[in-house]
Amino acid sequence: MLAAALAAAPALGQGLEEPLTAVPGDPVAGAAIVGEPTRGLCLLCHAGPFPDVPFQGTLAPPLDGVGARLSVPELRLRIVDSRQVNSASIMPPYHSLVGLTRVGERWQGDTILSAQEVEDVVAFLATLTDPPIPEETE
């Protein structure tokens, strides 16, 4: 199943050119998903430009500047299923059910984000073109 999904994807690491929905992503809605720690869960692992969120992640690269580092198709692929870029990635597959085991009853058959939510998140990430603000010394 994984092999089929990989074969269907464009050349590894390049990205998903096609938007998942016809409605263009809304960066404001995307910011709400990324910035709310219990919704997108992104800030469990990443830091980002959300000064109001006190405990941000230290387990992954900061999201600041990611819109300058990666193209929209590259961002989309990483949110849909980061394992297609790095098979050992610990980042949850936000819009894929491939290879999941023991999913809790409440969550069975559901991806973490819907197709439209993925588009919103991608639209928001694309706006993050400024590098991280250097941390103030304590």
Partner 1 sequence: MAGQVERAEGGAAPRLRPPRDICRKARWSGAVVAAVLAGAAGAQDGRVSTYEQMAPELRAMQDDDFSNPGLLWAQTGEELWAEPSGADEVACAECHGAAEEMAGVAAHYPDWDEESGQAVDLAARINLCRQRHQGAEPLERGSEALLALTTLVALQSRGQPIAPSEAPQMEAVRGQGEALYSTRMGQLNLACATCHDDLAGGRLLAAEIPQAHPTGYPQYRLEWQEMGDLDRRLRNCMVGVRAEPFAAGSQEFVALEAYLKARAVGMEMEAPAIRP
Query: What residues line the site for partner 1 (CB under 8 A)?
Result: 37-38, 41, 43-44, 54-55, 57-59, 90, 92-93, 99-107, 110-112
Output the six-digit token pair for 4: 């089929």
Q: Does residue 113 sit in helix, strand or coil? A: coil
> Would you say 100 and 112 are in contact if contact means Cβ atoms under 8 Å apart?
no
Shortest separation between residue 22's beta carbon and ligand HEC, angstroms: 22
Binding flag, residue 123, ligand HEC (CB under 6 A): no
* Nearest residue to 14 via CA among 66, 54, 70: 70
Binding flags for ligand HEC, 23-62, as an x/- string (CB under 6 A): -----------x-----xxx-xxx------------xxx-
Q: Which two tokens stand for residue 13?
A: 């690491």
Contact (CB, 8 A) for 121 and 113: yes
Binding site for ligand HEC (CB under 6 A): 34, 40-42, 44-46, 59-61, 63, 66, 69-70, 75, 78-79, 82, 86, 89-92, 94, 121, 125
